[in-house]
Amino acid sequence: MSGILLLGAGGQLGREVVALAEERAVALTALDRAGLDIADAAAIERVIGQARPDIVINAAAYTAVDRAESEPELATAINATAPGLIAQACARHGAALLHVSTDYVFDGTKPSAYVESDAIAPLGVYGASKAAGEGAVREALDMHVILRTSWVYGPHGGNFLKTMLRLAGERDRLTVVADQHGCPTATRDIAEALFTAADAFRAGTAVPGTYHFAGSGATSWHGFATEIVARAARHTGRLPEVAAITTAEYPTPARRPANSELSSDLFAARFGYRAAPWRQRTAEVVDRLLAAT
């Protein structure tokens, strides 16, 4: 057995994992949705049995937080049932599983950063489905790392940063929620963390379990948007107003945690890697995207 099998290669995180693997010449088999339907138990068994990886990274997920409220069966199939099936196949074939989860397993009532031992209490279907997926992985497989992350953004796919860049080019005034706080996390850092954990499993030094991994520092959605727009102005010369509003002024189908800050101290202590400051990574991603236009 050798090599890493990546599931969810077509998503924003999966594409970053593929890019980092190419940079590092890491042996990686990358499958997108067309390559593997993770809701198909027989297909999961066949793919993992044939590939015989020593590490499986599950970056596949249903991430449409609001739409999940009207599609609970689909969200549950992808986020809850599939991770359990993947973990079961890993157990049968002797592979470790690195599974990506979310800050939305928490209800946001804690006044400080969440740590791994805090009780989960998801507010909506998306968070509940991800929490169930975590439980399924723990039940099926000892050799796992569940990596909870938050406010994910990067150069690929759809995300908050790219939405703000688009709106900043179209409007003179943006309104963004200012009473939800969290840690913006770049896909580059998550990919680095996943490879760090994979290396630890191969070296026999990994401590399996659930870990928080998020960008260093915290902000509000309004603070994040302000940083994005200010950085973009260096390229475009446009600096629209970013006005602060409350969650109550921007109703959505799914409730979101008011505070989903994650402490990454445990992952840093056990694996020796910590994400870069979120402002640094935000500047890098904005510069990359706008330099390409």
Mean pLDDT by 10 residues, the chain (293 residues): 88 97 94 90 94 96 95 96 97 98 98 98 97 98 98 97 97 97 98 98 97 98 98 96 96 94 98 98 98 76
Q: Is residue 77 part of a domain?
A: yes
**HEC string of 87-151?**
HHHHHHHCCEEEEEEEHHHCCCCCCCCECCCCCCCCCCHHHHHHHHHHHHHHHHCCCEEEEEECC
Q: Is residue 189 part of a domain?
A: yes
Q: How far apart are alpha carbons 285 and 161 in whole angstroms?
A: 9
3-class SS at 173?
Answer: strand
Q: Is residue 28 part of a domain?
A: yes
3-class SS at 190?
Answer: helix
Q: Are 153 and 104 in contact (CB under 8 A)?
A: no
Q: How far apart are alpha carbons 68 and 176 in whole angstroms?
A: 22
Q: Is residue 288 part of a domain?
A: no
pLDDT at 39 (0 to 100): 86
Domain that holds residue 16: 4-155+185-216+260-275
Q: Are 250 and 175 in contact (CB under 8 A)?
A: yes
pLDDT at 2 (0 to 100): 67
Overall pTM surpassing 0.85 (yes/no): yes
Q: Is residue 293 part of a domain?
A: no
Distance set, CA 224 to CA 61, 163, 164, 228, 250 (Å): 24, 12, 9, 6, 17
CATH code for the domain in which residue 75 is found? 3.40.50.720
Q: Is residue 48 part of a domain?
A: yes
Q: Is residue 243 part of a domain?
A: no
| 126 catalytically annotated | yes
Q: Are 55 and 226 in contact (CB under 8 A)?
A: no
**Of residues 104, 126, 153, 211, which has the active-site annotation?**
126
Count: domains in the chain: 1
Q: Is residue 167 part of a domain?
A: no
Cβ within 8 Å of residue 46, ≥6 positions away: none
